[in-house]
Structure 1
Amino acid sequence: MTFNPLEHRGIPLDRQLRNWRELNVEPVDPDRADPYTKCRIITLNGIEIESIMFSHHFARVCPDLEIKQQLAEVRYIEQQQQKVVNWLLPGQSSVLETTISYEQVATDLTAWVARMEPDPYLRQAYEFGVLEDFDHLYRYANLYEMIEHRKAEKIVDNLTEVIPGRPTPLHHRDPVDNVREPYNRNEADPISKLHALTIMSAEQQTMNFYMNVGPLYMEPIARQLYQEIGLIEEEHVTHYESLVDPGETWWERLVNHEYNECYVYYSFMETESDPRVKAVWELHLNMELEHLRLACDMMRKHDGRDPESILARELPAPLTFEPNKEYLRNLLATQVDLTTLGTGYVREAHERFERMQERIHDAVTPPSDAVIDEHREMYGDEYRLQTEGEHPVKSLQHVRAKR
């Protein structure tokens, strides 16, 4: 059954404000919750934060008091939604356990988007990025066992493998080579716009999370690993945000943000396994339908265009969290040795890449390698969660040798 959010009114804005009792949601059980329920929570937290920050940025350049007031009204409700969504995460989970869930999001969400993306250039951007998130999951899983003496398989529940991806030390590139070509807003498939917003939002929240939690650790290796991967998340946000057409008007962007929120809430409402969490997604969807209606009215009034001219007539197939093991293994076998050059991709090292590698590593073992070395010293080997066959790349040493 198709769902067109433009045909539904949702809950009137003046009835959306919730009191403290209503905001005080019970978190999911860290021992019994579906790992993908936690992934959906983390994803929607990133979606909400992007919507909130976009609204703030819009307000800062908007001279019209009435428009700023309406943005503020909707934004306050978005803040309440974000609090409810993020507060569903269990307080019993450690920062590292939440981090592993963040990287499971980055791996399986990006892999799913890459599989569904119709534009070959955009698909390549997601395929390139996911192999790096995949390796981050592997590095944090090793840190988790070292610090908390637990295994990541309890968190990812065999849904996502924990094996090396593109080696993290090789993710450090000259900043100019992290900028991609944008889609054309007049030609791009509507789903491509939703994909770009979704992955950008998720990576942005991961960047923000690592920026804040990294220095909370006392263990030097943990502080160093969060610092290194946090810098790579900056590269990833640059990589994904540059896919969005900068020619979109503020009104067009506002409508796209609200439509994307409807899409993700609807998707997760359709696929959520926890009935209590599903009820939250349904409630928020009904709020977002009204936010979308208001944004569309503003676009018609101030941009002089009909939102239907830029939006899909109905929501695409639901965004789904599901295992992507075979897909990721194929990408590892065929794309692990890629790096970027300008707005494209190459297999061989080039002068800018080598210069950046030399300057940032400076003959020092990077934290992402040090954590594996220290794990081997403690346990005799590295931690992996491999559910089938051998690693698709015979040796990752050849990838480094080519650099």
Structure 2
Amino acid sequence: MTFNPLEQRGIPLDRQLRNWRELNVEPIDPDHADPYTRCRIITMNGIEVEAILFSHQMARHCPDPEIKRQLAHVRYIEAQRQKAVNWLLPGVSSVLETTIAYEQVAVDLTAWVARTEPDPYLKQAYQFGVLEDFDHLYRYADLYEMIEHRKAESIVDRLTEVMPGRPTPMHHRHPVDNVRDPYDRTRTDPLSKLHALTIMSAEQQTMNFYMYVGPTYMEPIARQLCQEIGLIEEEHVTHYESLVDPGETLWEQLVNHECYLYHSFVEQESDPRVKALWELHLNMELEHLHIACELMRRHDGREPQEVLAPELPNVLTFEPNKQYLRELIAEQLDLTTLGAGYVREAHERFERMQQEIHGGEPAPSDRVLQRQHDEVGREYRVETEGEHPVPRLRERV
């Protein structure tokens, strides 16, 4: 079904404020909810957080007090939405269970975007990143079984396989090799802009999550693993944010922040109660889009139709990506980055970074696997029956 948000009117801004009772959402049941409902919640929280942070940065660079007031009004509503969305997550879930859910989001969200991205260079960027998130999920699953004596299968529900990707210790690259070439805003498909903003927002959320929750673990090995992967998530944010054309004006970016994900999740949500929240928020977003469009006309001198697609593209879908990921593992496991491109051989800058960051000692992500071997006698796996197993990993020498 086609959907042009520019032709839709939402809830007027002065009717969007909610009281405490309306914000007091009931969390999902972690034992019975669709895992992809939880994935949609985590994703949408990341989108709302990005919208809030972007609005704050825009306000800090804006000399016009009237625009600041307009941004502040919209931003408060976005902050209410973010609270309603994030508070859908159940408090009974442990930090590590939520961490595994975050990595399931990263895997299946990035894999879907990679599959549907029309630009080959951008597609490669998402393919490269998803193999690293895939390995993060695997390392946390081993930690979960080791510490909480439960299996990640209870969280991902076999929708996402849990097995090795590109080895986590190999993710530590020199910072200059995490910067990609940006798309050309005058030529790129509007879908590519939405993809870049979506994955950047999701990875930024994960980076921030590890910044805050890492020290809350009691077990030393958990603290160390979260610290290591948190550093890699900073690399990922650099990787994805550099794809965005820096020539885009703030007004152009503002209109691109609206509507796509809420529209997508309304179309596919299986939980009626959560779907109702997506519908409410979409109708709020439609009005925010019209406000952003008017600001763009007034201060950028352009019509939004010059930068937006005539209708929203096919909805972003959470679904299993097992075979696609297995193919990427078979074809791209040994890639690293050099400048803005990708190479299969280790190079001097990469090897120097590896030596300096690891210092000749095993990384926390490898110590997790070793301890799992010592205590349980095996590594953790969730593989789908009836499919061919992936090749064993070959560590780069």
Does the TM-score normalized on the shorter chain lie above 0.5? yes
Partner deviation per Cα, 1:118-142 (whole Å, 9 max, x = no partner): 0000000000000000000000000
| Unpaired stretches in structure 2, ≥5 consecutive residues | none
Structure-2 residue corresponding to 1:97: 97
- 1:193 shift after superposition: 0.2
Structure-1 residue corresponding to 2:224: 224
CA distance in 2, matches of 1:291, 1:249: 18
Structure-1 residue corresponding to 2:271: 274
- 1:378 shift after superposition: 1.1
CA distance in 2, matches of 1:292, 1:306: 13
Structure-1 residue corresponding to 2:71: 71
Q: Secondary structure at the match of 1:320?
A: coil
Structure-2 residue corresponding to 1:198: 198
1:182 matched to 2:179: no
1:366 matched to 2:363: yes
CA distance in 2, matches of 1:44, 1:247: 26
CA distance in 2, matches of 1:275, 1:312: 29
How well do the aligned residues superpose, as a CA RMSD in angstroms? Answer: 0.7
1:339 matched to 2:336: yes
- 1:390 shift after superposition: 4.7
Q: Secondary structure at the match of 1:340?
A: strand
Q: Which amino acid aligns with 1:391?
A: P
Q: Secondary structure at the match of 2:313?
A: coil
CA distance in 1, matches of 2:219, 2:90: 23
1:376 matched to 2:376: no
CA distance in 1, matches of 2:78, 2:188: 28
Partner deviation per Cα, 1:43-65 (whole Å, 9 max, x = no partner): 00000000000000000010000
1:138 matched to 2:138: yes
Q: Which runs of 4+ in 1 moved over 6 A?
A: none
1:204-353 superposed matches below 5 A: 204-258=204-258, 262-353=259-350
Q: Secondary structure at the match of 2:396?
A: helix
Partner deviation per Cα, 1:263-293 (whole Å, 9 max, x = no partner): 1001001000000000000000000000000
* Conserved? CA contact 1:163–1:391, under 8 Å: no
CA distance in 1, matches of 2:252, 2:142: 43
- 1:400 shift after superposition: 1.9
CA distance in 1, matches of 2:393, 2:266: 40
CA distance in 1, matches of 2:201, 2:366: 28
Structure-2 residue corresponding to 1:14: 14
- TM-score (structure 2 length as normaliser): 0.99
CA distance in 1, matches of 2:323, 2:389: 11
- 1:391 shift after superposition: 3.4
Q: Which amino acid aligns with 1:12?
A: P
CA distance in 2, matches of 1:39, 1:400: 33
Q: Secondary structure at the match of 1:276?
A: helix
Structure-1 residue corresponding to 2:129: 129
CA distance in 2, matches of 1:275, 1:256: 27
Q: Which amino acid aligns with 1:361?
A: H
Once the two structures are overlaid, the 10-residue window that deviates more, 379-388 or 31-40, is 379-388
Q: Secondary structure at the match of 1:142?
A: helix
Partner deviation per Cα, 1:307-339 (whole Å, 9 max, x = no partner): 001000101011000000000000000000000
CA distance in 2, matches of 1:170, 1:40: 29
Partner deviation per Cα, 1:166-225 (whole Å, 9 max, x = no partner): 000000000000000000000010000000000000000000001100101111100000
Q: Secondary structure at the match of 1:400?
A: coil
1:36-47 superposed matches below 5 A: 36-47=36-47
